[in-house]
Structure 1
Amino acid sequence: MAIVAGIDSSTTRTRIVACDADTGAVLRDGKAPHPQPEAADARSTEADPQTWLHSLGDAATGGLLEGVTAIGVSAQQHGLVGLDAGGVLVRLALLWNDPRSAGAAASLIDALGGPARWAEAIGSVPTPAYTIAKLRWLAEFEPVSAQRIAEVLLPHDWLVWQLLGHPRRRTTDRGDASGTGYWSPVTGEYRQDLVELALGHELRVPDILGPAEPAGHTPEGLLISAGTGDNMAAALGLGLRPGDAVVSLGGNGTIFAVHEQAVVDATGVISSFADATGRHLPMAGTLNAAQVLRSAAAMLGCDLEQLGDLALQSSPGAYGLVLLPYLDGERTPRLPHAAGTLTGLRAESMGPQHLARAAVEGMLCNIAEALDVLRGHGVAVNRVFLLGAAGRLAAVRDSAPRLFGVPVVIPPPGAHAARGAARQAAWALAGTPEPPVWELPDAVTLAPEGEQDLAVGNAVRQQYQAVREQFHPETAEG
């Protein structure tokens, strides 16, 4: 039996799984935290890349990698590891969630002529998370460091380079490269003119590997696959196919689907990423997801589980109570300055169970509208994989199939990105045209219960839409 391993390096920890290369069965796993450095600026999120290696070593103790013949690497997207002409780290790595590049992203959008020009150039409109926005921030606030930077690696690129023993050739993959802001999934080419617009000079850029193309072998002879970003690895680990979408309910909502072509959205609502299989991963996001439920629970003096139980004591439509969940403004729809709205208050709807139901339905209706944005650009959504602790609440599981209008898959909790990295390693090891078929054990599929259930879901969504258009008429179609 061949054994492969997948490494996922997030902002806070490293997770490793060792899997059967043929079936994907997880044989061993481990995890370890990343030491958090003292930041000179309280707003910053920076890291010494060496801590990722130390964490990897801690996670791999106990013979975790014994018998492994190939390794894949997944890591947080968009980060910036800046190296000088000799391959020496110029400064601490800037992570995707460092907020200081917000102004830089806005200035870059203006510098190229607006969102539509960016969407045409790279399939996306830069946000503060993008690598290119961090390059612009460095050029403005740390010009000496910016001038020294000769090449930029993403976190997964850097880890692969370390595992391979610092070869002269640097590599990346389509998926992670599509989050830099200077590689286009539409054309498959780097845009050095955009790098120069942000940084003031061009960069040495990593070679783009094919989905099953190895990056090389370690000095010990282990095959290292191309690696990819965490969302792309999660899609591979879940076994997504065209027509499948993922809804990840963190504090924010992340919604993406597998599609055959790049999506160019001139409004910038959809970011057109590549995936790890040669396809594409168009993505939309909401600012409000699980935090809506946490806030409602705090208002009612209960925890999330109790909120879910309360919601099940109400009925679809929450007796006419509607919550527009724009607690921190909203990205999809574009309402950056909006606040939440609770309407439909009547004597019969004033119970806590109806407020709990309105919170669940408001969050899910907002997500459903983001799924419709993808559909409006030709992306098929025939099945939704629901991730995150909030997705395991009984009330969410009850409502989601009805409101999304398609079967909803609840995967078991697990290191999906690390498993996806391992599947990529197995693919590179086999050298086959398609990745090995790995079943997703213990997944639960929930489907709408017939036409009547779908009709109830449509009625709830129409109630929500009417309220949204009443309070935010700028979001009405036409």
Structure 2
Amino acid sequence: MAQVLVAGVDTSTQSTKVRVTDALTGRTVRFGQAKHPDGTSVSPDAWWDAFLAAAREAGGLDDVSALAVGGQQHGMVLLDGSGRVVRDALLWNDTRSAPQAAGLIEAFGAAPATDAERARGVTDGGDAAAATLRGKQRWVRAVGSSPVASYTLTKVAWTAEAEPDNARRIAAIALPHDWLSWRIAGFGPVAPGGDAHLDALFTDRSDASGTSYFDAAANVYRRDLLALALAPAYGGDASFGADGTVLAPAEAFDHAERITLPTVLGPHDAAPVKADPAIAGRDVPGGCILAPGGGDNAMASLGLGMGVGDVSISLGTSGVAAAIAENPTYDMTGAISGFADCTGHFLPLACTINGSRITDAGCHALGTDYDGLAELAAKSVPGAGGITLVPYFDGERTPNRPDATATLAGMTLANTTRENIARAFVEGLLCSQRDCLELVRALGVDVRRILLIGGGARSSAVRAYGPGILEHRITLPATDEYVAIGAARQAAWVLSGASEPPAWELAIEETLTGEPTPEVYAQYVGYRG
């Protein structure tokens, strides 16, 4: 029997990875990778160039029967009517839209709570704190999550306010994985007046659920929320009426209705278009099928084969704690994002802007490498002699402190040593993820298994102290590219036509255990407030 190949593409913040995979076993056949430019505002053309380079390094895609793209969430790609990018994409970690996020919450919170809302637990009261919480709660009820600077809608609102001419040019809004899938299908910018086939854009529930204008529970776009964000471009303020309707200028509503948004496919639906044979599937009868793709966290959970009760903690550029839930989750504090997963379930998720770069910063500050940082930390004790790092280097999303900076607290002349500082950096990373884990637990998620993945999981110090700080046994899957694996698994699922994804074996490197160290997290909580 001839080997059938599928490809999983991971277009992440830092690079594009292409994993050509055996559709039956899930084993890697070929692999390629190419870097993205640094920065939080990037031309999508750089992603396209990186994909082509990674595909070449992977030996080409001519023999690939199905392909899916997993991508960094929330990034805003604006296209005009000719399919040209209106402005550089704003990535998830670009926090310039923090004021707009606060403004969207304020707009939703201004009107008093109705009797029906009060019955559902929406906050009443007229002071500013009550109005802010009420706004967050209304957003959670509307789309599963309350806006923060990471989310796409806040970036649209920033564009409408800071660059109104660009906002008025928007003909389509895509996310990074949507845009790259569209390009792989052979579409792209055309001459003015030509048909750019914007209607061929497609996405999935997981990525759409991170925009703040898609309700994953009802599976519908909320174009009224897009109108709310676009209002400043049309010279008006927007608000949330007491009857639950969005109030905005008529021109904003008209524009929101005209914008092309990617078609949201089901978990194992084939896209209505196939890959351009010049890019993939040239040697495959019938060509290369395109699968829906998805957001990177949901794709990683698919790659890990996660089920209900599993929580993954991913230490990459960001830090993410994500759980699989059967039903929608509504965190009325707004701290947890109520996303969808790639299988038809839901993915309550807490994300920190600062992930493994925390230990990068520790290495830089102490003039050492990862092994050196671990060796120094091992000479300290739990709690780092009283020193705590609150690691909000680039601001923070969980908790929502976009303007924060990092602090080293608790230093004295006696405890300020390289060993204690090294330990504090590792403990700060793990405690920030414990914050996320506790938020997930607070929603009633019964945490049965914790899987630790990402580049930061390779740290011997993270492995040594993780079980104690998280106070839970940790399953350590073998180091691999789980977003790309999840994308490949989805591609194989769509290709098979089966009702369930293929059962690929997950290689477990080891199970980490350790004595609980609750005093470390308690010390951290005391300093981070």
Query: What is the letter of the counterpart of residue 108 of structure 2?
Result: L
Mapped contact 2:98–2:154 kept (Cα < 8 A): yes
Mapped contact 1:401–1:446 kept (Cα < 8 A): no
- Among 202, 208, 219, the alignment partner of 1:177 is 208
Taking the aligned partners of 1:67 and 1:44, their CA distance within structure 2 comes to 35
Deviation at 1:332, TM superposition (A): 3.9
- Once the two structures are superposed, residues 104-124 of structure 1 have per-residue CA deviations (whole angstroms, 9 ceiling, x without a partner) of 222222122222221121111
Does residue 213 (structure 1) correspond to residue 269 (structure 2)? The answer is: yes
- Among 73, 79, 82, the alignment partner of 2:75 is 79
Paired residue secondary structure (2:450): strand
Does residue 109 (structure 1) correspond to residue 175 (structure 2)? The answer is: no
Q: TM-score, normalised by structure 2?
A: 0.78
- Once the two structures are superposed, residues 160-215 of structure 1 have per-residue CA deviations (whole angstroms, 9 ceiling, x without a partner) of 22333445443210011011110012322211110100112312322211000010
Query: What is the letter of the counterpart of residue 105 of structure 2?
Result: I
Which residue does the alignment assign to 1:64?
A: 60
Does residue 414 (structure 1) correspond to residue 445 (structure 2)? The answer is: no
Mapped contact 2:388–2:523 kept (Cα < 8 A): no
Does residue 152 (structure 1) correspond to residue 173 (structure 2)? The answer is: yes
Taking the aligned partners of 1:248 and 1:316, their CA distance within structure 2 comes to 23
Structure 1 residues 103 and 72: CA distance shift in structure 2, 3 A:
same
Residues 274-283 or 290-299, more deviating: 290-299
Deviation at 1:398, TM superposition (A): 1.5
Which residue does the alignment assign to 1:18?
A: 20
Structure 1 residues 418 and 466: CA distance shift in structure 2, 3 A:
closer
Residues 146-155 or 208-217, more deviating: 146-155
Residues 195-204 or 49-58, more deviating: 49-58
Paired residue secondary structure (2:227): helix
Which residue does the alignment assign to 2:183?
A: 162
Which residue does the alignment assign to 1:396?
A: 462
Taking the aligned partners of 2:340 and 2:472, their CA distance within structure 1 comes to 24
1:29-108 → structure 2 map (5 Å cutoff): 29-34=31-36, 45-47=41-43, 49-61=44-56, 63-108=59-104
Query: What is the letter of the counterpart of residue 207 of structure 1?
Result: T
Paired residue secondary structure (1:255): strand
Which residue does the alignment assign to 1:120?
A: 141
Which residue does the alignment assign to 2:164?
A: 143
Mapped contact 1:263–1:272 kept (Cα < 8 A): yes
1:318-467 → structure 2 map (5 Å cutoff): 318=384, 321-328=386-393, 331-333=397-399, 337=404, 340-343=407-410, 352-441=418-507, 443-448=508-513, 453=515, 457=516, 460-462=517-519, 464-465=521-522
Deviation at 1:80, TM superposition (A): 2.3
Mapped contact 1:322–1:362 kept (Cα < 8 A): no
Q: TM-score, normalised by structure 1?
A: 0.86
Taking the aligned partners of 2:218 and 2:372, their CA distance within structure 1 comes to 49
Mapped contact 2:390–2:524 kept (Cα < 8 A): no
Taking the aligned partners of 1:99 and 1:174, their CA distance within structure 2 comes to 24
Give the RMSD, CA atoms, in angstroms. 2.8
- Once the two structures are superposed, residues 196-240 of structure 1 have per-residue CA deviations (whole angstroms, 9 ceiling, x without a partner) of 001123123222110000103235421111111222222212222
- Once the two structures are superposed, residues 346-392 of structure 1 have per-residue CA deviations (whole angstroms, 9 ceiling, x without a partner) of 96x66544443344334323322320111010123222222333322
Structure 1 residues 180 and 251: CA distance shift in structure 2, 3 A:
closer
Paired residue secondary structure (2:97): helix
Mapped contact 2:325–2:345 kept (Cα < 8 A): yes
- Once the two structures are superposed, residues 276-326 of structure 1 have per-residue CA deviations (whole angstroms, 9 ceiling, x without a partner) of 1111111113355434434444554433311212222344455x5341524
Mapped contact 1:365–1:461 kept (Cα < 8 A): no
Taking the aligned partners of 2:406 and 2:7, their CA distance within structure 1 comes to 45
Mapped contact 2:389–2:427 kept (Cα < 8 A): no
Query: What is the letter of the counterpart of residue 70 of structure 1?
Result: A
Structure 1 residues 371 and 61: CA distance shift in structure 2, 3 A:
same
Query: What is the letter of the counterpart of residue 224 of structure 1?
Result: L
Deviation at 1:88, TM superposition (A): 4.5
Which residue does the alignment assign to 1:237?
A: 303
Query: What is the letter of the counterpart of residue 390 of structure 2?
Result: P
Structure 1 residues 106 and 369: CA distance shift in structure 2, 3 A:
closer
Structure 1 residues 226 and 305: CA distance shift in structure 2, 3 A:
same
Taking the aligned partners of 2:46 and 2:413, their CA distance within structure 1 comes to 56
Deviation at 1:436, TM superposition (A): 0.5
Query: What is the letter of the counterpart of residue 266 of structure 1?
Result: M
Query: What is the letter of the counterpart of residue 246 of structure 1?
Result: S
Structure 1 residues 230 and 289: CA distance shift in structure 2, 3 A:
closer
Taking the aligned partners of 1:155 and 1:126, their CA distance within structure 2 comes to 19
Mapped contact 2:383–2:523 kept (Cα < 8 A): no
What runs of 5+ residues in structure 1 fail to find an aligned partner? 37-42
Deviation at 1:44, TM superposition (A): 6.1
- Among 154, 162, 175, the alignment partner of 1:133 is 154
- Once the two structures are superposed, residues 106-148 of structure 1 have per-residue CA deviations (whole angstroms, 9 ceiling, x without a partner) of 2222122222221121111222222111211221122222122
Mapped contact 2:291–2:491 kept (Cα < 8 A): yes
Which residue does the alignment assign to 1:255?
A: 321
Mapped contact 1:8–1:418 kept (Cα < 8 A): yes
Mapped contact 1:272–1:282 kept (Cα < 8 A): yes
Deviation at 1:394, TM superposition (A): 1.9
Structure 1 residues 135 and 391: CA distance shift in structure 2, 3 A:
same
Paired residue secondary structure (1:99): coil
Taking the aligned partners of 1:403 and 1:290, their CA distance within structure 2 comes to 16
- Among 194, 215, 223, the alignment partner of 2:225 is 194
